[in-house]
Structure 1
Amino acid sequence: MQQETSRRERKKLQTKKTIAEIALKLFFSKGLNEITVAEIMEEADLGTGTFYNYFESKEAILKYCLVERIDSGNQTLEEIQTSPLNAPEKLSQMVQAVGKTYEENQSLISLYMKFYRNLDKLDRKAPHGVRFKEILSSIIREGQEKNEFRRDIPPEIINEMFSEIHKSTMSSNLGLPFMDNINYKLSLLLEGVTTQKEGEA
């Protein structure tokens, strides 16, 4: 009986994902306002009424899809945190992973922010949220304990500097490729802006 329930739950989850991905493709090609629930469900080969078993509105699909991407991204961050890399390497990989998540989902994030901009400000943050800062804090503390990061700088300041990389890149008008922009800033924070003098190690 439990196996039957589990199979049914998996099928429901798969149906929800299918509806969401089909809807997203239609939103990107024609616009959210131009697409009806009936069109989404026709494309999914399901009855229109079935839509409301899974989503309360078209806009709810945007939130669902973004949460899916963030959850996947957070799993990557957890893997980086528990990897055998040193703290600077972990921090670098984390910033790049979050940047990649944003770059790959720019259309979804833009659409989401357009329709939720007047609601909860928490929904408008970059695609990493609280978990990113928690893991970042943990890696910074680890780096300071192992003398891989400066101990004379409060960890909150280091966290703030690295957290701001994504925000400044998202609003940048420099015309650089997104990940190049992030990597330049990452290099600047990890290695400094001054050139190394001859003879210095």
Structure 2
Amino acid sequence: MLRASRKQELKERIFTQAVKLFKEKGFDNVTVEEITQACGIAKGTFYNYFPKKEAVLLHLAESQLKSVHESIQRNENMPDLKQQLLLLFSDLFRRYAEQPDMIRLVVSEMMRADMFIHAEIRILERFRQALAALLEDAKNKGQLTTQAASEDIAAVLTGVYFNSLMIWLSAGSNTIRIEMLFQRHFDIVWEDIRSRGVVKQ
């Protein structure tokens, strides 16, 4: 367990140092060798964690997806579905609040490069599937009664999340709090879900 924790810490350190270099010099101008020198590691160690430089950018999306699964597992016995969903998204937004400049850089680089489109779509689909499974479980527990398919509700919530992210990104350094923005949009969607069935509070 300790070894896995250390490996995760090193992966995060490589990611953080790489993104700092991307910010200073531009993504295209940074080499793997420069990243490894900044981290004080061998090239082979870098490739143990990332198959190529571009994979560093995907680490953010992968770690956010991991956060989703951890939140679902941690709060699986919570009787209030709305609170469970809000805690899940709050976990995602925490990193945005802690490292806003880093997040903006990584997301903008990923959007700029065509090579990430298929990988992003796969991660987005896994994100949507995780939400759909959570909603389906809530239906099975009687926490949610609605005619709407869990997959459709998950798709709408995913859209609200990414819409909030895009607004936050376009605001630049302006102090838009992404979590508050998401909450406003989420509340509108939640009212519609409640109107179509029963949500246990």
The 1:49–1:76 alpha-carbon spacing in structure 2 relative to 1, beyond 3 Å, is closer
* 3-state DSSP of counterpart to 1:33: helix
The 1:127–1:169 alpha-carbon spacing in structure 2 relative to 1, beyond 3 Å, is farther
Among candidates 8, 25, 28, match of residue 23 of structure 2: 28
- Distance in 2, Cα, partners of 1:156 & 1:127: 12
- Distance in 1, Cα, partners of 2:6 & 2:78: 37
In the comparison of the two structures, how many residue pairs are matched?
181
- Aligned CA-pair RMSD: 3.6
- Distance in 1, Cα, partners of 2:86 & 2:10: 37
* 3-state DSSP of counterpart to 1:125: helix
Note if contact 1:99-1:182 (Cα within 8 Å) is conserved in structure 2: no
Note if contact 2:90-2:179 (Cα within 8 Å) is conserved in structure 1: yes
Cross-structure match for 2:198:
none
Deviation, structure 1 residue 117: 4.1
Q: By percentage of residues, which structure has more helix?
A: 2
Cross-structure match for 2:86:
92
Deviation digits for residues 83-111 of structure 1 (CA, Å, limit 9, x no counterpart): 33322322333344445456653432332
Deviation digits for residues 21-58 of structure 1 (CA, Å, limit 9, x no counterpart): 32122123322112122221221223446544543321
Gaps of 5+ in 1: 1-5, 193-201
The 1:151–1:33 alpha-carbon spacing in structure 2 relative to 1, beyond 3 Å, is closer
Cross-structure match for 1:169:
164
Same amino acid, percent of matched pairs: 19
Please state if 1:138 is matched with 2:161.
no
Among candidates 36, 39, 42, match of residue 41 of structure 1: 36
Cross-structure match for 1:197:
none
Deviation, structure 1 residue 188: 1.7
The 1:136–1:113 alpha-carbon spacing in structure 2 relative to 1, beyond 3 Å, is farther
* 3-state DSSP of counterpart to 1:85: coil
